[in-house]
């Protein structure tokens, strides 16, 4: 007996850390009908989560909410052990700080019920390095979401050296059962898959700003009005397969591969100087064009809801024909 609940028996989830990501997870779990218990040391955690939930609930109602979901079925606790009482699953979303996560996971391990699986939202640490102070590393797994977790379906699931395969399977099945799109990785890769790709793009963007080759606004426009329009449907690989015409990816690699060797290899990480920092921050202010963060979030959510609704209906049409 490992004490692990059946996936269908999970009723209560504890969210440890309730900022942008933990709060977003909590909103999603509520919309899927779970009872949510929160632990976050910030004194204004409950107020912040209330604001986030009010913002997220209408979008959740359009896409992933189940019948009977209760917007009020959550509580914030000042004591970690109390927050973990009765939890059938734990999602950790504390700040991205390795020492902090090591301590926190050990504290969760000491207080959570035996066998309860703990998923970490970390953007890039491996579970092997995070679980070093736990007594039961076998129950710890990365469940890496994307902002906002209440709207973006992808979760990357990967265990550490001490994680049992059965727990990685359990977590992948659990996130799938609650409506997420899961990539189950069988080895640890820094940044997992999606962040590794995003970071490569971001590195190039910072280089171009640093060298005065492109503005922040031009970088966003280049993706938004260009390749970004194709990525929701085919992703970067099938996009290039089609860019090869009738010869597909093979023609693409024969044709462009040799000329791409230099851009693939010439750049290392840019130095994050004060000038670069200031240019990027000022560029984002400029590109926001008077819209507040809250305005931008509302705009983003409405557009993601519209896009996902359209993608669902075209996928259903495709199945029908």
Ligand X SMILES: NC(=O)c1ccc[n+]([C@@H]2O[C@H](COP(=O)([O-])OP(=O)(O)OC[C@H]3O[C@@H](n4cnc5c(N)ncnc54)[C@H](O)[C@@H]3O)[C@@H](O)[C@H]2O)c1
Binding-site ranges for ligand X (CB under 6 A): 16-22, 40-42, 45, 93-96, 100, 104, 121-123, 144-147
Q: Minimum distance between the CB of residue 24 and ligand X, rounded to whole angstroms? A: 8
The residue (of 94 and 216) whose beta carbon lies closer to ligand X is 94
SS3 of residue 73 by DSSP: coil
DSSP H helices, the chain, are: 20-31, 45-63, 80-84, 98-111, 127-130, 165-177, 194-210, 216-224, 231-243, 248-265, 274-288, 293-320
> What is d(CA 57, CA 52) in angstroms, rounded to the nearest whole number?
9
CB of 161 to ligand X, least distance (A): 20
Helix (H) or strand (E) holding 74: strand 74-77
The CB-of-125 to ligand X minimum distance in angstroms stands at 8
Nearer to ligand X, 144 or 308 (CB): 144
Instruction: Tell me 13's DSSP state.
Output: E
Q: Which residue is nearest to ligand X (CB)?
A: 19
Nearest approach in angstroms of CB 23 to ligand X is 7
β-bridge mates for residue 16, sequence order: 39, 92
Q: Which is nearer to ligand X, 200 or 250 (CB)?
A: 200
Distance of closest approach, residue 44 Cβ to ligand X, in angstroms: 9
Is the Cα torsion angle 293, 297, 299, 300 positive or negative in sign? positive
Q: Nearest approach, Cβ of 22 to ligand X (angstroms)?
A: 6
Q: Output the DSSP codes for 126-184.
A: -HHHHSTT-S-GGGEEEEE--SSTTT--EEEEEE-TTS-HHHHHHHHHHHHHTT-EEEE
Nearer to ligand X, 22 or 119 (CB): 22
- Looking at the Cβ atoms of 198 and 314, the one nearer to ligand X is 198
Nearer to ligand X, 64 or 156 (CB): 156
| Torsion over CA: 157, 307, 315, 151 (sign) | positive
């Amino acid at each position: 007996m490992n004490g692990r609940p059946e996936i269908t028996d999970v009723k209560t989830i504890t969210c440890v850390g309730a900022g942008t990501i933990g709060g977003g997870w909590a909103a999603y779990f509520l919309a899927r009908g779970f009872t949510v218990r929160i632990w976050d040391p910030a004194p204004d955690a409950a107020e912040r989560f209330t604001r986030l939930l009010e913002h997220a609930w209408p979008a959740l109602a359009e896409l992933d909410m189940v019948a009977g979901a209760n917007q009020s079925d959550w509580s914030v606790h000042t004591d970690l052990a109390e927050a973990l009482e009765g939890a059938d699953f734990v999602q950790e979303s504390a700040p991205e700080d390795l020492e902090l996560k090591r301590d926190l996971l050990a504290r969760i391990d000491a207080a959570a019920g035996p066998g309860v699986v703990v998923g970490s939202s970390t953007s890039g640490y491996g579970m092997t390095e995070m679980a070093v102070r736990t007594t039961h590393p076998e129950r710890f797994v990365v469940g890496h979401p994307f902002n906002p977790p209440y709207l973006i379906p992808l979760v990357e699931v990967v265990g550490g050296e001490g994680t049992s395969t059965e727990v990685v399977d359990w977590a992948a099945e659990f996130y799938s059962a609650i409506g997420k799109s899961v990539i189950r990785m069988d080895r640890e890769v820094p940044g997992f898959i999606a962040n590794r790709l995003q970071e490569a793009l971001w590195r190039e963007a910072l280089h171009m700003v640093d060298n005065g080759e492109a503005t922040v606004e031009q970088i966003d426009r280049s993706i938004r009005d260009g390749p970004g329009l194709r990525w929701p449907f085919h992703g970067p690989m099938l996009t290039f397969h089609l860019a090869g015409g009738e010869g597909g990816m093979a023609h693409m690699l024969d044709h462009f591969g040799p000329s791409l060797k230099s851009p693939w290899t010439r750049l290392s990480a840019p130095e994050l100087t004060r000038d670069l920092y200031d240019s990027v921050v000022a560029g984002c202010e400029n590109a926001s064009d008077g819209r507040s963060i809250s305005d931008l979030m509302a705009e983003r959510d409405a557009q993601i809801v519209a896009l996902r609704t359209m993608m669902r209906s075209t996928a259903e049409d495709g199945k029908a024909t």
